[in-house]
A = this chain, B = another copy of it.
Amino acid sequence: MYINEAFKLAQMTDGQTGRNPAVGCIIVRDGAIIGIGAHLKEGSSHAEVQALAMAGDARGATLYCTLEPCSHYGQTPPCTEAVVEAGISRVVFAARDTSLDNTGIAYMEAHGIEVSHEPHDDITEFYAPFFQAKKDSACYVTVKLAATLDGKLADDSDSSKWLTNADSRTDVHKLRHTMDGVLVGRRTYELDQPKLDARHVSGKKPAKIIISRSGDVKLHAADIDSEQRIIIITSRELETTAEVIVTDDLSPGHITKLLYKHGIRRLLVEGGSSVITAFIEHDCFDEVVLYYAPKLLGGTERNRFYHTEEKELSALKQLELKSVDVFQHDVKLTYRKGQNDVHRNY
């Protein structure tokens, strides 16, 4: 029960902890919660330390934590030392921290604490992007698109206004709030003037990332000296108020490694069709989120979200359905990358 409460705290702060994972912690004694903590921001106190501070005297209590307490000196001192010092008698955690050579369990046990690892499916899934990004030193990539049922992001005159409804767009803002950065191509940036923020849900402004080989990006007025982080990835040095990442290799794989170094752990790729096609074609995605408007448009290849040279079935990208949501007449389908096992069940 208490681990679910701790998970709620982690979910609350998901999206605001930078390269760190969101963590929730609950301290319980005699059947009552005596401390609540969450990691709020990269560089600030960990969840365990926050919860211990709230508890004051936590001797003999049980500490529930979504993630294994850290044992290393990073931006803050190790949590395991604080746990031992506070006189905690039992620690329950849901996810192992596979990204660090953690000696915390042994340390706590050596100090007489009973330590239990109780895996929890939802929490395991919650941390998967974090561990994967850290392991690969590359962003966890979600490709998001809003299209007609026949796969068009916009019409043949590049108009795409109001394809999906207000509820879908609010949901996109929730999605953005969990992201560190939102990436678009130069043309989409200049045509759509996208805010790429989470204002519908009073959420944050993830970094706005624009790819342009030429660097010939005309920043919108609001993006000059903006408090939102603006990053341009380009092949040449630029005079601009935006951050500039200069590289000759603008392939999706390389970009996700560069962005990770610049603090972007979770990346949302929003468009247009050339950028989306490049990320899909290079297998540089972990999840795909499709918002289908209840519309059939037709038209030419232009603004078809995934268009390439001639393709055969053997080259298709297999996905796994993760969830289905309905917003009035719009449908949101969320997929994770799957195994390329073409069905042969006939």
Contacts and interface: CB of A to CB of B under 8 A. Distances in A.
Nearest to A149: B290
A159 B169 CA distance: 36
Contact of A148 (B157, B308, B316): B316
A309 B319 contact: no
Nearest to A295: B316
20 contacts: A149-B319, A150-B306, A154-B313, A159-B313, A162-B344, A163-B313, A165-B343, A169-B346, A277-B298, A280-B296, A295-B317, A295-B318, A296-B316, A297-B311, A298-B315, A299-B308, A299-B311, A321-B326, A324-B326, A324-B331
Contact of A150 (B165, B305, B312, B343): B305
Interface in A213-263: none
Interface residues of A, number: 62
A342 interface: yes
A295 B319 contact: yes
Given A149-B151, A149-B290, A345-B162, A298 B311 contact: yes
Nearest to A281: B298
B313 A321 contact: no
Interface in A318-342: 318-321, 324, 326, 328-331, 333, 335, 338, 342
A168 to B, nearest CB: 10
A192 interface: no
Contact of A155 (B151, B312, B344): B312
Contact of A346 (B162, B296, B300, B316): B162
Contacts of A338: 294, 329
A292 B333 contact: yes
